[in-house]
Amino acid sequence: MGKINSLRLVGAPGTNKIMAGELSRLARRAIGGRMAEPKKAGGGTLIYPFDRQLAELAVHYHRTSARVLWDLAESTAERLEPLYDDLCQALKGDQRGWLWDGATISVRARNVGGFAAGEPQVIGTVKNAIIDTAKEDGIEVTVERNEPDVLIHARLHNDVISVSVDLAGRTMAKRGYRTEGAGEAPLREDRAATVAMLSRYDARSEVLIDPMCGSGTIAIEAALMGRGVPLWVAPRAPTIYRLPAFRDRVGQTHEPLFGDTKPVVIANDIHTPVIELARGNIQRAGVADAVHLLHGDFRDLSRKRIDKVLSERGHDGKRGVIVCNPPYGTRMGGPELEQLYRDLGAWCAGFPGWRAAFIVANPDFVEHFGRRPRISKPLSNGPQKGYFYSFDL
């Protein structure tokens, strides 16, 4: 216990394998060589030895994580006073370049309900340890709750509290291309990327169709991931370059890692206001050339029309995957929702040899869709308990 130096990727529960696979794919292209095997802290956290190049790569390109953190210290203390002492011992004289004179900080706590003291007390203890040790080292640090230079996280797992710097300075889910009012139960960007990964969409050879695209998040993330495009849409830049350890990288450009890949994605929705949201999001994300937007009921979207769109884009349509986040029952329910699921199953049957993948929080979905899933695993979007299903068509 004490000083540590790790790169921590945090995502949705049950996504460790997906997050590790994505980072490995990115690192092979951008860095080369083999990566160290990560440690796992629960089902949604990966821990790697800290490497500056890997950290920068993750902050800019890793789409399935919700947080990218630089672990600085950890403690097994069960009370506030020993926690303060452990952190002071670990952080005193720290020369790793994550803090500087005049910096502002904010501390947030996560999953600390099992600690003897409450969340505000844990936050206060971590904050005091950072400010006091910085002062001993001749560094003045102040607290800024809303837009700090350095966002600090305190997390409890298996009776160990880790203290980390958030390298993006915010959740990785908010890339900057999506506007508010994204429709019913909008899918978070990192969850949409996770669904695209779980669907095994190969942008080099396959088509992806989202027949109920809402604000377009799955379609956008699939297209961006296929090209390996950086996450952040201007002016939303990560805060990593405020840190002295990364200031020599200020001004570096980040190009698509798989720029030679040309994804082909079709996104469709019945609701006119939502389609207009999707259109704007697609434009801001820079994937208008990859995502073809259609407007109408998917039940009226014939295979012939889809093949025509694909032919115009130079794709034969022999291989593909249908991916969507269908309604759960908030807007409709009962027989109407059950019929929608049956109709979706019948519509997907028109794509033999393809796959279909869904994230859905309705436990009756599989029964009414009419097929046995090849993959079924928990994957939630928000407070509702959800599942990911994959089917061979």
H/E stretch holding 164 reads: strand 160-166
Which are the contacts of 254, defined by CB distance < 8 A and separation ≥ 6? Answer: 60, 61, 230
Check: CB of residue 249 under 8 Å from CB of residue 291.
no
The C-alpha atoms of residue 3 and residue 108 are separated, in whole angstroms, by 19
Residue 104 confidence (pLDDT)? 96
Could you say which residues of the chain have pLDDT below 70?
A: 1, 180-185, 329-333
In the prediction, which pLDDT does 184 show?
56
Model pLDDT for residues 118-143, shown as the tens digit of each residue: 888 999 999 999 999 999 999 999 99
Distance CA 213, CA 271 (A): 10
Domains of the chain with CATH codes: 2-166 (3.30.2130.30), 189-392 (3.40.50.150)
Please name which of 268, 263, 264, 373 lies closest in space to residue 326, comparing C-alpha atoms.
268
**Which pLDDT belongs to residue 252?**
82
Computed on alpha carbons and rounded to an integer, the radius of gyration of the chain in Å comes to: 23
Q: pTM for this structure?
A: 0.93
Angle, CA 312 vertex, CA 308 and CA 316 arms, to 5°: 70
Tens digits of per-residue pLDDT, 198-252?
999 999 999 999 999 999 999 999 999 999 999 998 777 899 999 999 999 987 8
Give me the half-sphere count of Cα atoms (radius 13 Å) on the Cβ side of residue 199: 34
